Chain A
Amino acid sequence: MASSVTRDKIRLHPKELMLWLYLATTAMLFAGFSSAYLVQRFSEYWKSFPVPFIFWINTVVLLLSSVSLYWAQQGFRNQNPWQLQIGLMATLSLGVIFLAGQVAGWQVLVRQGLFLAGNHKAISYFYVFTGLHAAHLVAGLIVMGYWTYKALRYQVSSQSWLGLRLASIFWHGLDVLWVYLIVFLQLNQIL
């Protein structure tokens, strides 16, 4: 009846739209940091440093967590609780491994005498970028832990589709953010 009048509404669930808008604010936050980084790159005090290899291992771990999350969602779609449980547990574990890997990476830097404080801007920015990403990832782990707990207790129903979808968008968003950050930081070391 009123389809012609209401066609201009966004065909997304309101909560999903809100999540996308939230991701836009996160993108703008890191855009702010990235532009600051680009401005200071050309100062005379700028010194490049090699990104420790462990951060690349972490990148692979985080990418794998996105794959396992996708697989878990496939399980949800096919109403296979076992696949959902394994997939979510794998995602959660890979997330924790990533975070532990980040801490290990920071320790590698500290052992080289590279700290947040001081005049070495490249390394200061590196800590700021990775630290803020880690803070976001902790939030992601809490969400993922919640859904893993629910799945293990068989409390996931078809009503959960929205919550799971939002959790996975957030998680993939953090993944995309990390890939952007590591590529951005690496390109700025090379170029």
Chain B
Amino acid sequence: MATQSVAAAAVTTAHHEHEHHHHHESFWTKYIFSQDHKMIAKQFLITGFTVGFIGILLSAIFRLQLAYPDTNFPFLQTILGKWAPEGRLDPNFYMALVTMHGTILVFWLLTGGLSGTFANLLIPLQLGARDMASPFINMLSFHFFFWGTVVLMASFFVETGPAAAGWTVYPPLSALPQGMPGSGLGMILWIVALVLFVVGVLMGGLNYITTVLNMRTQGMSPMRMPLVVWSLFTVAVLGLLSFPPAVAAFFLLLFDHSLGTSFYLSDIYIAGQALPQQGGNVLLYLHLFWFLGHPEVYIVLLPALGITSELISTHARKPIFGYKVMVYSILGIAFVSFIVWAHHMFVSGMNPLLGSIFTATTLLVAIPSAMKIFNYIFTLWKGNIQLNTPMLFAIGTVSFFISGGLTGFFLGVAPMDIPLHNTYFVVGHFHLVMGVSAVFAMFGGTYHWFPRLWGRMMNERLGYLHFWLTYIGANLVFFPMYYMGFGGVPRRYYAFTEFSFTSQWQDLNVFITIAALITIAAQLIFVYNFFHSMFYGKRAPRNPWKATTLEWSAPVEHIHGNWTGNLPVVHRWAYEYSKPGAPVDFIPQYISDEDIARGVRWWEDDFDPSTVIDRTEPGEGEKAPSTPETSPVPALSLNQKPDLPQV
């Protein structure tokens, strides 16, 4: 890749030397300490997928344990050493695997990876900005994320193993090193990793919000923004409001764990010994954690649904149905997500009256969610549907959002949740509605924007194979879990051999494990396709999907500043597909009615958008940031060097 990019950069330099300043970039400034949002998007994408793949491999190990609890697998000892003596998984390490699987996939893949990739790639490019508001803080955002990843992975190699109290790390188990091995150093590393991760996410979020509010190109009014930008913006606001209280919870947990406080601890006996901690309150942790934890579900889901909106509209060749409703439903979901958190706590011993209030607010989420589903279906209705890989994955997202979301009704209502709580019903529900559906959107987005990132297409045949194996596989893995959940099978158990009400599902567990292993193996197709296409894929035209949004008007080469000449000026909304009277079924946002009358042929593969973009006046964002009216030195020019008198 390096040689190609260098060659591409050289070509660009030759072409645009007179108008564009090029830095001499070393390997370090280009790939490691890059301040270019496109490179940072690639960093997030590859780090997210790599760590996500590790997270999925962890599930392969614990699925083997659940299906064959009495079998020795000598290869496990080869991989895990003392955590699998004679090939039998250690129960403590089983808990660690479950915990790390959840942490990695919820936070690292679906929060950092998903938002980090697509917000970095799409916000500046789709809004017509040269880069993020602060490229430097954007770089730091990735580096905090990356070092959080390193700390989290390092916890696999400490003596007592990684954190093992579940991905929610409830005290007292997580706060007492004597409680289980995983609550030792592994727990401290977990908290450190999470804090680094949150700092990274927040730095990114500050940039996303500021870029959306301040850096849009001329003509890009809020109601012309693509829906994916709306969702990424909303998610950044959600993160900004909900992550800091969780950090507060983690700090107090760390103090309880290591500094002898008792914020969460009270009346605890371990092995007959009474602990000195008194007066703490576990419910406090649950409230603080789920005040993040529930918005977190939408931090994962909203970007996925935003990507789906782009994909469905583009590949159905139809404007998105009910654009304004989509915007308001994103905002509505975001608002409601802040007042539903206690539906995770119906059995925690909190006041039952509070439970009924949170049941009512939880059911409210169904309204904006249903509006979105309705709009997706009506966008597809009578569309000229192109069933390519991105479209398949987008429809897959909607399908899982429906099948997983409907089971949310059961869990959102307190009397139904009480028997189903902590059973496999919950596992099936959240894996489908937020896990698989968001992963599908991430895959769809990757297939769709791969030509924008690397200038090459991914292989369609392999894409189909990847889609169908994953789609069928994910259903075979997670649907049976609903039955097990109704049967009362609890989650996070090491083995189901002891009780007949759980052991009766053993055959189903074997079935799920086999389906899971096949599905996991199918991801290798994607890995191969991803890296092979990066180097040897078919060269992509400038606008391979014939899409309307601005990212396809910029050259794909690694150019800091995105557009070689002017910034594009926006003349229409983001979904001008199949407009009656138009010469073709899409009109890009930067094409004005005059350009159409002038006979510009934007649909041809060799069309150069800069011929249109550079004709117009420089956009608003082109001018140097002007001094706001509140500037303390309105009378002075900003460009004079020192004008304080030298004393």
Chain A contact residues, CB within 8 Å of chain B: 1-2, 5-6, 8-18, 21-22, 24-26, 28-33, 35-36, 39-40, 43-46, 73, 76-77, 79, 81-82, 84, 116-119, 121, 124, 128, 132, 154-159, 161, 164-165
Report the bound CA distance from A26 to B633 in whole Å. Answer: 29
Report the bound CA distance from A157 to B647 in whole Å. Answer: 13
Give the contacting residue for B647; candidates A36, A73, A82; CB below 8 A: A82
B599 at the interface (CB under 8 A from A): no
Q: A17-B210, A26-B244, A40-B281 are in contact. Are A121 and B632 (CB under 8 A)?
A: no
Q: Which residues of B contact A32 (CB under 8 A)?
A: 244-249, 288, 291
A interface SS class: helix
Q: Which residues of B contact A15 (CB under 8 A)?
A: 133-134
Report the bound CA distance from A185 to B277 in whole Å. Answer: 23
Is the Cβ of B214 less than 8 Å from the Cβ of A9? yes
Give the contacting residue for B214; candidates A12, A28, A46, A117; CB below 8 A: A12
Q: Which residues of A contact B255 (CB under 8 A)?
A: 116, 124, 128
Q: Which residues of B contact A24 (CB under 8 A)?
A: 240-241
Is the Cβ of A11 less than 8 Å from the Cβ of B245? no
Is the Cβ of B252 less than 8 Å from the Cβ of A128? yes
Looking at the assembled complex, report how far the CB atom of B542 sits from the nearest CB atom of chain A, in whole angstroms. Answer: 26
Q: Which residues of B contact A119 (CB under 8 A)?
A: 262, 276-279
Is the Cβ of A158 less than 8 Å from the Cβ of B260? no
Task: Give the top 3 A-B pairs by smallest Cβ distance, nearest first.
Answer: A45-B279, A117-B260, A32-B245
What bracket does the count of chain B residues touching chain A fall in?
A: 35 or more
B631 at the interface (CB under 8 A from A): yes
Q: A13-B625, A158-B638 are in contact. Are A39 and B287 (CB under 8 A)?
A: yes
Is the Cβ of B641 less than 8 Å from the Cβ of A157? yes
Which residue on chain A has the smallest CB distance to residue B205? A21
Q: Which of B69-77, B82-90, B216-224 is the contact stretch?
A: B216-224
Q: Which residues of B contact A154 (CB under 8 A)?
A: 642, 644, 646-647
Residue picked from A1, A31, A45, A117, most chain B C-beta under 10 Å:
A117
Q: Which residues of B contact A21 (CB under 8 A)?
A: 205-206, 209-210, 240
Q: Which residues of B contact A31 (CB under 8 A)?
A: 244-245
Which residue on chain B has the smallest CB distance to residue A9? B214
**How would residues 234 to 263 of chain B score, 1 for a CB under 8 Å from any chain A CB and 0 otherwise?**
000000111111111101100100011111
Q: Which residues of A contact B252 (CB under 8 A)?
A: 33, 36, 128
Is the Cβ of B248 less than 8 Å from the Cβ of A33? yes
Looking at the assembled complex, report how far the CB atom of A162 sits from the nearest CB atom of chain B, in whole angstroms. Answer: 8
Q: Which residues of B contact A13 (CB under 8 A)?
A: 625, 628
Is the Cβ of A157 less than 8 Å from the Cβ of B643? yes
Q: Which residues of B contact A159 (CB under 8 A)?
A: 638-641
Give the contacting residue for B244; candidates A29, A73, A118, A155; CB below 8 A: A29
Is the Cβ of B617 less than 8 Å from the Cβ of A1? yes
Q: Which residues of A contact B213 (CB under 8 A)?
A: 9-10, 17
Give the contacting residue for A117; candidates B216, B261, B625, B643; CB below 8 A: B261
Looking at the assembled complex, report how far the CB atom of A1 sits from the nearest CB atom of chain B, in whole angstroms. Answer: 7
Looking at the assembled complex, report how far the CB atom of B293 sits from the nearest CB atom of chain A, in whole angstroms. Answer: 13
Q: A2-B219, A117-B260, A158-B640 are in contact. Are A14 and B279 (CB under 8 A)?
A: no
Looking at the assembled complex, report how far the CB atom of A171 sits from the nearest CB atom of chain B, in whole angstroms. Answer: 15
B353 at the interface (CB under 8 A from A): no
Is the Cβ of A118 less than 8 Å from the Cβ of B247? no
Is the Cβ of B620 less than 8 Å from the Cβ of A157? no
Which residue on chain A has the smallest CB distance to residue B248? A32
Q: Which residues of B contact A6 (CB under 8 A)?
A: 216, 218-219, 620
Q: A12-B214, A154-B644, A158-B638 are in contact. Are A117 and B259 (CB under 8 A)?
A: yes
Which residue on chain A has the smallest CB distance to residue B217? A6
**How would residues 613 to 642 of chain B score, 1 for a CB under 8 Å from any chain A CB and 0 otherwise?**
000010010000100111111001111111
Which residue on chain B has the smallest CB distance to residue A16? B628
Looking at the assembled complex, report how far the CB atom of B482 sits from the nearest CB atom of chain A, in whole angstroms. Answer: 35
Is the Cβ of A45 less than 8 Å from the Cβ of B278? yes
A-B contact pairs, 18 of them (CB 8 A): A5-B221, A11-B629, A12-B628, A18-B207, A26-B244, A32-B288, A36-B284, A36-B288, A40-B281, A43-B279, A119-B279, A121-B262, A128-B251, A128-B255, A157-B642, A158-B633, A158-B643, A158-B644
Is the Cβ of B244 less than 8 Å from the Cβ of A44? no
Report the bound CA distance from A16 to B633 in whole Å. Answer: 15
Report the bound CA distance from A26 to B198 in whole Å. Answer: 13
Looking at the assembled complex, report how far the CB atom of B631 sits from the nearest CB atom of chain A, in whole angstroms. Answer: 6
Q: A12-B214, A119-B277, A158-B637 are in contact. Are A36 and B628 (CB under 8 A)?
A: no
**How would residues 294 to 306 of chain B score, 1 for a CB under 8 Å from any chain A CB and 0 otherwise?**
0000000000000
Is the Cβ of B645 less than 8 Å from the Cβ of A14? no
Looking at the assembled complex, report how far the CB atom of A122 sits from the nearest CB atom of chain B, in whole angstroms. Answer: 11
Report the bound CA distance from A128 to B259 in whole Å. Answer: 11
B508 at the interface (CB under 8 A from A): no
Give the contacting residue for B632; candidates A25, A33, A77; CB below 8 A: A77
Which residue on chain A has the smallest CB distance to residue B569? A2
Report the bound CA distance from A154 to B644 in whole Å. Answer: 8
Residue picked from A81, A116, A158, most chain B C-beta under 10 Å:
A158
Q: Which residues of A contact B219 (CB under 8 A)?
A: 2, 5-6
B327 at the interface (CB under 8 A from A): no
Q: Which residues of A contact B277 (CB under 8 A)?
A: 119
Is the Cβ of A73 less than 8 Å from the Cβ of B632? yes
B373 at the interface (CB under 8 A from A): no
B137 at the interface (CB under 8 A from A): yes
Q: A18-B134, A121-B263 are in contact. Are A28 and B240 (CB under 8 A)?
A: yes
Q: Which residues of A contact B222 (CB under 8 A)?
A: 8
Looking at the assembled complex, report how far the CB atom of A70 sits from the nearest CB atom of chain B, in whole angstroms. Answer: 11
**How would residues 389 to 432 of chain B score, 1 for a CB under 8 Å from any chain A CB and 0 otherwise?**
00000000000000000000000000000000000000000000
Looking at the assembled complex, report how far the CB atom of B121 sits from the nearest CB atom of chain A, in whole angstroms. Answer: 19
Report the bound CA distance from A156 to B647 in whole Å. Answer: 13
B457 at the interface (CB under 8 A from A): no
Q: A29-B244, A29-B247, A32-B288 are in contact. Are A17 and B262 (CB under 8 A)?
A: no
Report the bound CA distance from A19 to B435 in whole Å. Answer: 33
Given contacts A5-B221, A14-B214, A121-B263, 9 further A-B contacts (CB under 8 A): A17-B213, A25-B202, A28-B240, A29-B244, A31-B245, A33-B248, A36-B263, A39-B284, A119-B277
Give the contacting residue for A76; candidates B202, B260, B630, B632; CB below 8 A: B632
Give the contacting residue for B281; candidates A25, A43, A128; CB below 8 A: A43
Is the Cβ of B644 less than 8 Å from the Cβ of A25? no
B215 at the interface (CB under 8 A from A): yes
Q: A14-B133, A116-B259, A128-B251 are in contact. Are A81 and B647 (CB under 8 A)?
A: yes
Looking at the assembled complex, report how far the CB atom of B210 sits from the nearest CB atom of chain A, in whole angstroms. Answer: 5
Q: Which residues of A contact B276 (CB under 8 A)?
A: 119
Is the Cβ of B644 less than 8 Å from the Cβ of A161? no
Q: Which residues of B contact A132 (CB under 8 A)?
A: 251
Looking at the assembled complex, report how far the CB atom of B377 sits from the nearest CB atom of chain A, in whole angstroms. Answer: 32
Which residue on chain A has the smallest CB distance to residue B224? A5
Give the contacting residue for B240; candidates A8, A25, A158; CB below 8 A: A25
**How would residues 504 to 544 of chain B score, 1 for a CB under 8 Å from any chain A CB and 0 otherwise?**
00000000000000000000000000000000000000000
